[in-house]
Amino acid sequence: MRFILFLTVFFVFSPAPLAQDLLQSGPMVGYSTMREVMLWAQTTEEAEVHFEYYEQGNPKVRFKTEQVETQKSTAYVAQIIADQVLPGNTYTYELYINNKRVKRDYPMTFQSQELWQWRTDPPEVNFAIGSCNYVNEARFDRPGKPYGSEYEIFTAIHEQKPDFMIWLGDNTYLREADWNSRTGFLHRYTHTRSLAEMQPLLASTHHYATWDDHDFGPNNSDGSYSLKETATEVFKLFWANPNYDVTGEGGITGTFQWADLEFFLLDNRYHRTSNRNYTEDRQMLGKEQIDWLINALASSRAPFKFIVIGGQVLSTEAWFENHATFADERHYLIKKIRDARIEGVVFLDGDRHHTILSKQQENQSVYPLYDLTCSSLTAGANNSKEVLNTNGIEETFVGQHNFGLLNVSGPRTDRVLTITIRDKDGQPLWTREIKAQDLKYKR
């Protein structure tokens, strides 16, 4: 008798991961122009990424970006340009990973800038500002009470529906385990960018950024920092500004326009002298960067020229890391602005873990310069008032988590800036108006 043995072999197939499971963070909307918009996403592993988008209300006419493969060497980040946009439109977009659509339960939209010149008055502009964003990670944080909290502030910003947001520095906090290696940089930026509360804001608000010490390197780090080129590389990888290093001297200095406004993103770390080095001419920005700035300001016709920098400029309290501790350079900067008769200058900065508006007017022949310090988003708040800042407007001091919402409106020849500082829930704390006409020299 013969016995025939039949073997049945079972193959176990693991299902392919869902597209949303391959998304680490984002998508994020970067810079916007009239003809292109930068889109950003980060995957969990190597994957093919592209976007599809269409004008709101017209889903039958769809556009597709190029497809890129994310790589481990660049933290699986994809930066892709949507280059088939037309001015003044709002677009709905979709993210595809390995040709499968990523589902999200919040809006994913971007806008192209309006072509208003020679046609109408400039459009109304709303933008958010904030600095000092600490996202806890217990195994790398210092012992004790967590330093980061109240992440619901990002929901509050999102609910205000700003056109764009400017991150004023300390947008993430490198830890001791991070700042000595590129691996550490990539981990910290990835960890912060993956915060769940941040994702809806990233997806439908355009984002621009500068840095300060905590997203550049160690606390109070300066131009001697050995990994400043790594810091530059990773910053460019995780943000989507339209340009960097416009001076050609290294770092992340850049500029962008929105409607009739112009923004100058300065680098206060790459060229910085050590806080404790008094053996040479001390600089926070460097002459080359300041001279570029003055030339760019002089060329600008914007009614408001926003100078965006990681640390305070006009505070007279020569304490911590504000520009008062680099007095000669600050004098050079302000003198150049005055000598060139540049109008409409407003400084935007962070760093201090509190918010305050400073105002400086040397004499009645010049207009007042304003410096809006806006901090902190989620890092520990500081209730220590700037008692030595004679330029500070006392009633604008805020010592709790907050963000700024800035509105520019009115006809082309009479633009008005309205500043509203809001708490973590989006409730207004104070409001101030500054007229462009009041930031002009007397004729």
Are 393 and 356 a contacting pair, CB within 8 Å?
Answer: yes
Confidence (pLDDT) at 41: 98
CA angle 35/38/42 to nearest 5° reads: 160
Supply the pLDDT for residue 319: 83
Return the percentage of the chain with pLDDT > 70, whole number. 96
Task: Assign 385 a pLDDT band (cuts: 50, 70, 90).
Answer: confident
For residue 18, the model assigns a pLDDT of: 73
User: HSE of 219 in the Cβ direction (CA atoms, 13 Å)?
Assistant: 5
* Closest to 163 in 3D by CA, of 99, 90, 266, 101: 90
Q: At what angle are helices 182-193 and 228-238 packed, to 10 degrees? A: 30
Average pLDDT (95-118) is 97
pLDDT > 90: percent of the chain: 92
Question: Residue 15: its pLDDT value, please?
Answer: 60
- Using the Cα atoms of residue 244, residue 249, residue 250 and residue 251 in order, give the sign of their dihedral: negative
Alpha-carbon distance of 198 to 378, in angstroms, equals 12
Q: Is the pLDDT of residue 299 over 80?
A: yes
Mean pLDDT of 278-286: 96
Give alpha helix (H) positions in 261-386: 287-299, 327-339
Q: Out of 66-80, 282-296, 380-394, pick the least confident.
A: 380-394
Checking if the pLDDT of 370 tops 70, the result is yes
Cβ neighbours for 25, distance < 8 A, ≥ 6 positions apart: 41, 42, 190, 193, 194, 199, 202
**Residue 320's pLDDT band (boundaries 50, 70, 90)?**
confident
Output the six-digit token pair for 111. 């806008």
Tokens 């910003």 belong to 157
Span 151-162, mean pLDDT? 98
Confidence band of 5 (pLDDT split at 50, 70, 90): very low
C-alpha–C-alpha distance, residues 370 and 344, integer Å: 10
125 has pLDDT over 70? yes
Task: Give per-residue pLDDT as tens, 184-193.
Answer: 999 999 999 9
Q: What is the mean pLDDT of the chain?
A: 95
Separation between Cα atoms, residue 125 and residue 405, nearest integer Å = 10
Residue ranges and CATH numbers for the domains of the chain are 19-111 (2.60.40.380), 125-439 (3.60.21.70)
Report the DSSP beta bridge partners of residue 124.
Answer: none
Question: Looking up tokens 């609910």, which residue turns up?
Answer: 159
Q: State the DSSP H helix or E strand holding residue 223, giving kind and residue range, or none if neither.
A: none
Hey, which residues does 432 pair with through a beta bridge? 419
Residues 27, 194: contact at Cβ < 8 Å?
A: no
**Model confidence band, residue 443 (pLDDT cutoffs 50, 70, 90):** confident
Give the Cα separation of 190 and 137 in Å (integer): 12
Q: What is the pLDDT of residue 413?
A: 97
Separation CA 373–CA 356 (nearest Å): 5
Give first-to-last CA distance, the chain, whole Å.
Answer: 117
**Band of pLDDT at residue 16, cut at 50, 70 and 90:** low
Q: Take residue 178 and report the two structure tokens written for it.
A: 């991070």
Question: So what's the pLDDT on residue 121?
Answer: 98
